[in-house]
Structure 1
Amino acid sequence: MSSAASSSPVPGRFGLRRALVRNRGALIAAAVLAILLFVVDWISAGPLTYFDVSFLSSGGATSALAAIGQTIVILSGGFDLSAGAVISLVNAVLASSMDPMAPGASIILWTAVGIGVGMAVGAFNGFFIAVLRMQPIVVTLSTMFILQG
């Protein structure tokens, strides 16, 4: 019997190169975050603090949630032009209705109100697209115009 020479891949620089190529999206995102933190540190008068990082992360939360929703819509073959108008509507409803000094004011309640407003607009769009079989671009463009006034 002859033993077959097994050629197992040797971990080395080729494995590292493959890992870098495979994870290039995450590496680009980390590099952009590092650049943003460097710019904020350079612009601010004092050293980079927790509040600077908190401000950067809280400012992008709404956009990140909208991007997740839009990704799902686009992956399913749809098209939604009304997302920005829905975000503006939710912000306007919450800003005009919320009173943080009122007794019984609850972040959970106002979060539910904001989600409910967004869901109502989504149900409106979904009714016209799924039930009445209208084109998504027409429905969402019309919804955007209606919400923006």
Structure 2
Amino acid sequence: MNAFEHLEDVACKDGIDVTDRKLGSERIKGLYCDGYIVLNTNALKTTTEKTCVLAEELGHHYTTTGNILDQQEVTNIKQELHARTWAYNECVGLIGIIKAFETGCKSLYEMADYLDVTEDFLKDALESYRRKYGIYTEIDNYIIFFEPWISVMRKF
């Protein structure tokens, strides 16, 4: 089961309908409303892109309340960030970074490929973790460094 299929399974188990449709604008990659997720076939060319967008839309299901389309409102911006953070944790996560390191990933491209996310999504996730944890964080027997570049060190 690939990452997209896993997220589809999560949605299905929670009664969320996921559908592909052509939307008028390529700027809109996905929409969530009241238990329905629409993925824009005009804007999403690969399964990996669909995975990232589906994760964020699921994040809206789990973390967002009300209409947050007006991104000039501070509360709406915060809810958007909560949904993205949910997506980052679901698709990347600190354990995912460690697993990518353990399998020998040496670049962002390799790590994104291993995690089945786009490089941009991975970069945004890493920046989100850097803002949250600072230069580094420790988990289990590992130290994950976010600066000056992503690296993982195993503690003995």
Which fold has the larger relative contact order, with Cα–Cα distance below 8 Å and residues 6 or more apart in sequence? Answer: 1
Q: Rg larger in 1 or in 2?
A: 1
**TM, length-normalised to structure 1:** 0.32
Q: Hey, which of these two has a bigger chunk of helix by percent?
A: 1
Give the TM-score, by structure 2 length: 0.31
Whichever structure has more strand as a proportion of its residues is 2
